[in-house]
C-alpha cells in the first residue's frame, strides 16, 4: 500500500430518489497530502464525506480509504481514520 493513494475515488455517486447529491466525483489523495472540499451549501461535501467515512452507502462508483473498500469494509475504515 506504500505507493497507493490513501484515498482513491472513481465516479462516486449518491442519489436520494431522483436527486443526485454527489454526481460521479473522481479524485485521489496521496499519503501526506492535504486535501479539502470547497463548495456552496448543498454542493455535496458532507454527503461525500459521509460515504468516505463509512456512515452512508454510495449509490454507485468505487472508493477506497486507507486501502479499504467503502462498499464492503466500512467498519474497517471507521477503525482506521479520525474525522471531525
**Is the confidence at residue 3, as pLDDT, over 90?**
no
Q: What domains does the chain contain, in order, with CATH numbers?
A: 7-73 (3.40.50.300)
Identify the band that residue 2 occupies on the pLDDT scale cut at 50, 70 and 90: low
Closest by CA to 9, choosing from 70, 75, 74, 82, is 70
- Please compute the mean of the pLDDT values over residues 73-78 and round it to a whole number: 94
Exposure string for 48-76, b = 16+ CB within 10 A, e = fewer: bebbbbbebebeebebbbeebebeebbee
pLDDT value for 84 = 75
pLDDT digits (tens, 9 = 90+) for 25-37: 999 999 999 999 9
Question: Per this entry, what is the length of the chain?
Answer: 84
- Please compute the mean of the pLDDT values over residues 55-75 and round it to a whole number: 95
Closest by CA to 24, choosing from 10, 11, 37, is 11
Amino acid at each position: 500500500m506504500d505507493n497507493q493513494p490513501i484515498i482513491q475515488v472513481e465516479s462516486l455517486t449518491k442519489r436520494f430518489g431522483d436527486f443526485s447529491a454527489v454526481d460521479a466525483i473522481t479524485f485521489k489523495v496521496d499519503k501526506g497530502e492535504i486535501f479539502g472540499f470547497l463548495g456552496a451549501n448543498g454542493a455535496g461535501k458532507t454527503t461525500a464525506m459521509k460515504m468516505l467515512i463509512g456512515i452512508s452507502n454510495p449509490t454507485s462508483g468505487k472508493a477506497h480509504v486507507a486501502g479499504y473498500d467503502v462498499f464492503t469494509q466500512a467498519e474497517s475504515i471507521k477503525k482506521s481514520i479520525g474525522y471531525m
